[in-house]
Structure 1
Amino acid sequence: MSVDTQPSQRPHVVRRKYLIDAGFQLRYILRLAALGGGGVLLVGVLAYRTHRAAVESGASPEVLAASSETLLWLIGLGTLGVAGLMALFGLMLTHRVAGPIYVMGLYIATLAAGRYPRMRPLRKKDELRGFFDRLSNAVDRIREREAEEARLLLEVVEALEPLATTQDAQAAISILNSIRARKRQAIEGPTSGALKSVA
């Protein structure tokens, strides 16, 4: 019997679909393009006017040199202005996306700890609403299923307790009781305090 010593290779997956959430992506692509293009256009128009004014005035080489210096200043200040606007816009965008991701991460950590979080709605201008709604619905359905299973376990335990005469049967009922208690605690127990502090 031969043992395969070659490491297994993961298949190379090529993603061809770049617009996954077209509404969200196109909205911000167009905003970024408009902000960047508008800023560059404004700087270009100001630079062209400065250069044209110097040429039309029949300027001497010294004046043209001064005009070129003004042109460089305009380009530099325009670049800094556009970069600042893009940074502010990026901060706003990342805040609208990072906030929901942070909150959903806390919810997932709460689920992993065996508890069901009390889901709060996202802020008015937050993004990723569709994903958040699907996560909320999934948590609600799982919580309802757990509650139903806890209820059924209670019925089973109540029906079997009078019949449990042996130690093994009593131990089995004890296990069922502990499973039911764990399910009830997960559903009704307190959630992480960090969730309440998220703005």
Structure 2
Amino acid sequence: MSVDSQPSARPHVLRRKYLLDAGFQVRYILRLAALGGGGVLLVGVLAYRIHQAAVRSGASPEALSASGQTLLWLAGVGALGVAGVLALFGLVLTHRVAGPIHVMSLYIATLAAGRYPRMRPLRRKDELRGFFDRFSEAVDRIREREAEEARLLSEVIEALEPLATTQDAQAALSILSSIRARKRQATEGPTAGALKSVA
């Protein structure tokens, strides 16, 4: 068997589908567009009114200059306001996405430790529900498979115990018994209380 000494080049993958979860993505794209567009429109309308008021009053060049400075200040304050609103909206959005990701990462850590977590439902307004449901279903199926394997190991051990007369056979049964115990502990044992602090 020969080992290829050339590093395998990753194939270039061109992603053509950008709306993977259309309901989630379109909802937040429209909300962000409405907030940003609405904020810019509001600043534009106020700036136009200031400009029109200056023109109607037959303002002097100095007054028009002052009006221009007011427009600049208004645009700056408006930009900061829109940025603040979008930042708050982004905080809410990321919390609704980061919360489920955080919970799933705790579940993965529990799985990596050889235990099965007690799954809890997401909060009412959390996102990624479809992904979380598939993740929960996968964990449940793996847990059921582990429990079934522990049951089958019990049957095998019970059938082989009377036949295990040699030291090697007894050592093999001991290994099977430890695997069964580990599977039982993983599927039936209590889980860590690490999820109590999840917001």
Fold-level similarity (TM above 0.5)? yes
Alpha-carbon distance in structure 1 between the residues aligned to 2:137 and 2:184: 19
Alpha-carbon distance in structure 1 between the residues aligned to 2:196 and 2:177: 32
Query: CA-to-partner distance for each residue in 1:1-40, whole Å, 9 max, x for gaps?
Result: xx97654322111111111111110000000000000000
In structure 1, the partner of 2:124 is 124
Q: Please state how far the C-alpha of 1:148 moved relative to its aligned partner.
A: 1.1
Query: CA-to-partner distance for each residue in 1:31-75, whole Å, 9 max, x for gaps?
Result: 000000000000000000000011011111222122112111111
Alpha-carbon distance in structure 2 between the residues aligned to 1:127 and 1:12: 30
Alpha-carbon distance in structure 2 between the residues aligned to 1:19 and 1:31: 16
Which is further off, 59-68 or 30-39?
59-68
1:47 aligns with 2:47: yes
Q: Please state how far the C-alpha of 1:162 moved relative to its aligned partner.
A: 2.2
In structure 2, the partner of 1:113 is 113
How many percent of aligned residue pairs carry the same amino acid?
A: 85
Report the residue type matching 1:104 in the other structure.
Answer: M
Alpha-carbon distance in structure 2 between the residues aligned to 1:172 and 1:90: 57
| Secondary structure of the corresponding residue to residue 74 of structure 2 | helix
Normalising by structure 2, we get a TM-score of 0.94
Which is further off, 72-81 or 182-191?
182-191
In structure 1, the partner of 2:17 is 17
Matches within 5 A, 1:69-148: 69-148=69-148
In structure 1, the partner of 2:176 is 176
Alpha-carbon distance in structure 2 between the residues aligned to 1:114 and 1:148: 16
Report the residue type matching 1:65 in the other structure.
Answer: S
Report the residue type matching 1:133 in the other structure.
Answer: D
1:26 aligns with 2:26: yes
Gaps of 5+ in 2: none
Alpha-carbon distance in structure 2 between the residues aligned to 1:196 and 1:133: 20
Q: Please state how far the C-alpha of 1:197 moved relative to its aligned partner.
A: 1.6
Alpha-carbon distance in structure 2 between the residues aligned to 1:103 and 1:5: 41
Q: What number of residue pairs does the alignment pair up?
A: 198
Which is further off, 161-170 or 23-32?
161-170
| Secondary structure of the corresponding residue to residue 122 of structure 2 | coil
Q: How large is the RMSD of aligned CA atoms in angstroms?
A: 1.6
In structure 2, the partner of 1:195 is 195
Query: CA-to-partner distance for each residue in 1:66-117, whole Å, 9 max, x for gaps?
Result: 2112111111111110000000000000000011111111111211221111
Report the residue type matching 2:104 in the other structure.
Answer: M
Which is further off, 38-47 or 52-61?
52-61
